[in-house]
């Protein structure tokens, strides 16, 4: 336990943190409607971190879910046009709620919508990086989502796990926290195998780690464990630690930064040849970051 604890002692020194929250963490599972009390707790925790002088970026899912409720869809929309319509309505509604909550705690939030197209083009990637850095310098808390209103299969990230890792790489974050409806990485599916062992720390990602990626996303999410491991690979190679943790209590963010033995920690190992295009667009000719 002493050795395990030593791997987390440095987390309280983090200065630039990206927090990703999945759709299932923001809604009531019975109805799919936003859980406003949880949203308020999340915003309060992030504002307090900002009060401590930390740079904070929130990658938030939920736009399509909010939009489909507003437009009267009973299930998840199937056609791309329906998803984009829901995203258009839901993104505006979600940001309105976020803006109101952040202002109640005397902080300013901004909206940044990205697609893969933004990242693979050198000029737009550099502009995105500069915008992030200026917002953070001004004390703003950027709220990021994929631009689902215009995304297609050719230019989409596909899930916000990958997007949050890309954002972490762009802005030089030193910690990425993925919050979802799971505790972290196990040796097997704990809901099906009582002997499944929890993995507290991953020092390197190889095929043996990917072989543990089991399970599927629910109605309100898009990413499973494989996408989270993919995200960890991007973040770690960019020099950013990453933690997968359970979002049932957003106060876990404070505990994780304090070094609590919760969630699965993926340790950073910055690659000297890191280029984001190698991870999201291997055949691209741009320079990326």
Under CATH, which number does the domain 2-280 receive?
Answer: 3.40.1160.10
pLDDT band at residue 219 under the 50/70/90 scheme: very low
Q: Per residue in 157-211, pLDDT tens?
A: 768 999 999 999 999 999 999 999 889 999 988 888 889 999 999 999 999 999 8
Least confident of 15-24, 185-194, 228-237: 185-194
Q: What does pTM read for this prediction?
A: 0.90
Give residue 282's pLDDT: 53
Task: Please report which confidence band the pLDDT of residue 137 belongs to, taking 50, 70 and 90 as the band edges.
Answer: very high
pLDDT greater than 80 at residue 139: yes
pLDDT for position 216: 41
Burial class of residue 228, CB neighbours in 10 A (0-12, 13-18, 19+): buried
Residue 217 has pLDDT above 70, yes or no: no
Instruction: Report pLDDT for 148.
Output: 67
Q: Between 145 and 280, name the one with better pLDDT.
A: 145
- According to DSSP, the residues that pair with 179 across neighbouring strands are 21, 245
How does 118-155 read in b/e, with b if 16+ C-beta sit within 10 Å? bbbbeeebeebbeebeebbeeebbbbbbbbbbebeeeb
pLDDT for residue 1 is more than 50? no
Under a CB-based contact definition with an 8 Å cutoff, are residues 26 and 35 in contact?
A: yes
The predicted structure's pLDDT at residue 152: 56
Query: Higher-confidence residue: 45 or 224?
Result: 45
The predicted pLDDT at position 2 comes to 39
pLDDT tens, residue by residue, 68-105: 888 888 777 778 888 888 888 989 999 999 999 999 99
Give the torsion sign (CA, 178, 182, 183, 185). Answer: negative
What band does 53 get if pLDDT is binned at 50, 70 and 90?
A: very high
């Amino acid at each position: 336990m002493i050795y395990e604890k030593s791997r987390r002692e440095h987390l309280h020194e983090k200065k630039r943190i990206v927090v990703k929250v999945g759709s299932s963490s923001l809604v009531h599972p019975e109805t799919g409607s936003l859980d406003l009390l949880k949203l308020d707790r999340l915003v309060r925790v992030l504002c307090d971190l900002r009060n401590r002088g930390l740079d904070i970026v929130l990658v938030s899912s939920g736009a399509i879910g909010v939009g489909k409720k507003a437009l009267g869809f009973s299930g998840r929309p199937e056609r791309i046009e329906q998803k984009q319509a829901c995203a258009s309505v839901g993104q505006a509604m979600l940001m309105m709620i976020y803006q109101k909550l952040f202002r109640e705690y005397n902080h300013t939030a901004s909206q940044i919508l990205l697609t893969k197209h933004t990242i693979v083009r050198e000029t737009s990637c550099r502009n995105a990086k500069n915008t992030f850095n200026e917002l953070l310098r001004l004390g703003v808390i950027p709220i990021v989502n994929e631009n689902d209103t215009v995304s297609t299969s050719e230019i989409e990230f596909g899930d916000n796990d990958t997007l949050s890792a890309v954002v972490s790489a762009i802005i030089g974050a030193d910690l990425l926290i993925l919050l979802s409806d799971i505790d972290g990485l196990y040796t097997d599916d704990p809901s099906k195998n009582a002997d499944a062992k929890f993995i507290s720390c991953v020092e390197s990602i190889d095929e043996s780690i990917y072989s543990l990626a089991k399970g599927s996303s629910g109605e309100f999410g898009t990413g499973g464990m494989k996408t989270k491991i993919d995200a960890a690979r991007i973040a770690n190679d960019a020099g950013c630690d990453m933690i997968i943790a359970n979002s049932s209590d957003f106060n876990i963010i404070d505990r994780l930064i304090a070094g609590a033995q919760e969630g699965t920690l993926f340790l950073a190992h910055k690659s000297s040849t890191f280029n984001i295009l190698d991870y999201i667009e291997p055949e691209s000719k741009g320079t990326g970051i």
